[in-house]
Chain A
Amino acid sequence: GAGVSQSPRYKVAKRGQDVALRCDPISGHVSLFWYQQALGQGPEFLTYFQNEAQLDKSGLPSDRFFAERPEGSVSTLKIQRTQQEDSAVYLCASSLSQGARGRGHEQYFGPGTRLTVT
Chain B
Amino acid sequence: SQQGEEDPQALSIQEGENATMNCSYKTSINNLQWYRQNSGRGLVHLILIRSNEREKHSGRLRVTLDTSKKSSSLLITASRAADTASYFCATGFYQTGANNLFFGTGTRLTVIP
For chain A, give the interface size range. Answer: 20 to 34
Name, among A41, A50, A110, the residue most crowded by chain B CB atoms within 10 Å (CB to CB): A41
CA distance A116 to B110 in the complex (A): 28
Assess whether A107 is in contact with B101, with CB atoms less than 8 Å apart.
yes
Within 8 A of B (CB), among A38-61: 41-45, 48, 50, 55-56, 59
Assess the A103–B100 pair: CB atoms within 8 A.
no
How many A-B residue pairs have C-beta atoms within 8 angstroms? Tell me.
86
- The stretch that binds B, out of A65-73, A79-87, A93-101, is A93-101
Distance between B109 CB and nearest chain A CB, rounded to angstroms: 15
Report whether A33 and B30 are in contact in the complex, using a CB–CB cutoff of 8 Å.
no
CB-based contact A102/B103 at 8 Å? no
List residues of B (42-66) whose CB comes within 8 Å of A's CBs. 42-45, 48, 50-51
Interface residues of B in 13-59 (CB under 8 A from A): 30-31, 33, 35, 41-45, 48, 50-51
> Does the CB pair B102–A109 fall under 8 Å?
no
On whether the beta carbons of B43 and A91 are closer than 8 Å, the reply is yes
Complex CA gap A47/B104 in Å reads: 18
**B96 interfacial contact with A, CB 8 Å:** yes
CB-based contact B42/A50 at 8 Å: no
In the assembled complex, the Cα of A106 lies from the Cα of B48 at a distance in Å of 7
Which residues from chain B contact A14 at a C-beta distance below 8 Å? none
A45 in contact with B31 (CB, 8 Å): no
CB-CB nearest in chain A for B95:
A56
Once the chains are docked, how many angstroms separate the CA of A106 from the CA of B56? 15
27 A–B contacts from the bound complex (CB under 8 Å): A31-B99, A41-B105, A42-B88, A43-B101, A43-B103, A44-B103, A48-B96, A55-B96, A55-B97, A56-B98, A56-B100, A59-B100, A91-B42, A93-B43, A95-B99, A98-B97, A102-B30, A102-B31, A102-B50, A102-B94, A103-B31, A103-B99, A104-B92, A107-B101, A109-B35, A111-B41, A111-B42
Interface residues of B, Cβ cutoff 8 Å to A: 2, 4, 30-31, 33, 35, 41-45, 48, 50-51, 88, 90, 92, 94-106
